[in-house]
Amino acid sequence: MPVLVMKFGGTSVANLDRIRRAAKRVGVEVAKGYDVIVIVSAMSGKTNELVGWVRETSPLYDAREYDAVVSSGENVTAGLMALTLQEMDIPARSWQGWQVPVLTTDTHASARIEDIPPANIMRKFGEGMKVAVVAGFQGVSPEGRVTTLGRGGSDTTAVAFAAAFEAERCDIYTDVDGVYTTDPRICSKAQKLDKIAFEEMLELASLGAKVLQTRSVELAMRYKVKLRVLSSFEEQSDDAGTLVCDEEEIMESKVVAGVAYSRDEAKLTLLSVADRPGIAALIFTALSDAGVNVDMIVQNISEEGRTDMTFSCPTDQVARAERALGETKKSGALNFTELVADTNVAKVSVVGIGMRSHTGVAAKMFKVLSDESINIKVITTSEIKISVLIDRKYMELAVQALHDAFELEKTA
């Protein structure tokens, strides 16, 4: 039988009624002749509750015990989903990560999947099981302990299963009905995309779009897994949602596919840093060792052997960055006059594979922002994206203006 992977996020399984609704969707696919692997998240809000309990119990917690506690939410959902399907006379069984097994690294709280041997589940399919309900977000380390994949890890679990079982498709059910040209809450003209290329989706996910976890898109692109993003709360047709696929499957790509934003950004500038070989390596090694996720980087022109170095990072990592650079300065390895932090900025980006073959996108973007009197603080580009750092108070205006300028309301 062909295999289909269906993933249900926390809002899709938030209570028993929603679990029953999700189970009915699974039943429809079973009736079509599929063997179905269902990946489930914890019920909405449960993971945050479990994390809160861990931190209240032990502020400096053991990451192995953190995983043992936090992974339990998915186990509950998997069992309830399997029971619901059994009540519908569909042969189903729940699976925890260690039972599959989902083999991961031993980096607790942020493990990576290394292998998913399909033999155990395929044997059960051969014996008459129609649905394997797998607890997402979790696996087992080489030492045999439960691991978790980081927040949003159930998306990654679903794509990894689709790759391991050579599934026909991986359907991600969530609280939105697809991928939009931008956030509909900010821009009323946002349109749902029927298809989007893996590379575009990867950029949008990494730049702030919350629809899919970045690692899941990376995996899908590497293993050519067809992804479909759908709503759990709307009636579905065969062409519902948004298909994330190879660029070749899209007839004609627009120059810009979408506008993304990230509200929680900060800009940090090291003033008067020595301009010599190795200084950038020293700065960003210290930040990396401290777990700071650096994004945009700009170095000013050198004057009299000194320069300024500017970079961006998430606002919740500013204190960590300040501490790491301060300690490096105290050690004598790094010399600068001041570290200036601006925590009132946002990142706005335009993304599209059509940029490869079209000129003038940057000029148009900068002109649009200029016309709205929005000052650009930092710019970074890649082959298919342009990102700018601006004052946070102008973020929504910038998103709306760019969406209009690139006529994304005509995408659908």
Q: What is the pLDDT of residues 174-212, one digit of tens each?
A: 888 888 899 888 999 989 888 999 999 988 887 766 678
Q: How far apart are CA 132 and CA 42, in angstroms?
A: 16
Average pLDDT over residues 54-71: 94
Residue 152, pLDDT score: 80
Write the single-letter amino acid at 111. A
The three-class DSSP label of residue 411 is coil
Residue 208, pLDDT score: 65
Q: Is the pLDDT of residue 235 over 80?
A: no
Average pLDDT over residues 69-73: 96
| Half-sphere CA count of 278, side-chain side, radius 13 A | 3
Q: Is the pLDDT of residue 165 over 90?
A: yes
In the structure, what pLDDT confidence band is assigned to residue 252 with cuts at 50, 70 and 90? low
Plot region of 204 (φ>0 → left; ψ -120 to 50 → alpha; else → beta): alpha
Average pLDDT over residues 160-165: 96
Provide φ and ψ at 152, rounded to 5°.
Answer: 80, 10
Residue 239, pLDDT score: 65
Bridge partner list, 314 = 265
Residue 330 near residue 304, CB atoms below 8 Å:
no
Write the single-letter amino acid at 55. R
Residue 389 vs residues 109, 112, 268, 293, 376: alpha-carbon distances, Å: 30, 31, 12, 16, 6
Supply the Cα-derived Rg of the chain in whole angstroms: 23
Return the higher-pLDDT residue of 393 and 152: 393
Sequence-distant (≥ 6) Cβ neighbours of residue 13 within 8 angstroms? 19, 22, 40, 41, 43, 44, 77, 80, 81
Return the higher-pLDDT residue of 255 and 252: 255
Look-up: residue for tokens 């998306």? Answer: 155
% of the chain surpassing 70 pLDDT: 97
Average pLDDT over residues 284-304: 90
Residue 356, pLDDT score: 85
Provide φ and ψ at 289, rounded to 5°.
Answer: -65, -25
CA dihedral of residues 235, 240, 241, 246 (deg, nearest 10) = 160
Mean pLDDT score of the chain: 92
Sequence-distant (≥ 6) Cβ neighbours of residue 231 within 8 angstroms? 173, 174, 175, 176, 177, 178, 240, 241
Of 43, 35, 41, nearest in space to 5 by CA: 35
Q: Is the pLDDT of residue 142 over 70?
A: yes
Of 262, 269, 300, 266, nearest in space to 283 by CA: 269
Look-up: residue for tokens 């993933």? Answer: 7
Cis peptide before 101 (omega within 30 of 0): yes
Residue 250, pLDDT score: 77
Provide φ and ψ at 276, rounded to 5°.
Answer: -145, 160
Provide φ and ψ at 279, rounded to 5°.
Answer: -70, -40
Provide φ and ψ at 7, rounded to 5°.
Answer: -115, 130
Output the six-digit token pair for 47: 């993971």
- Lowest-pLDDT choice from 5-9, 113-117, 162-166, 299-303: 299-303
Q: How far apart are CA 355 and CA 279, in angstroms?
A: 33
Output the six-digit token pair for 166: 């050579």
Residue 268 near residue 286, CB atoms below 8 Å:
no
Residue 39 near residue 137, CB atoms below 8 Å:
no
Q: How far apart are CA 354 and CA 200, in angstroms?
A: 10
Residue 154, pLDDT score: 93
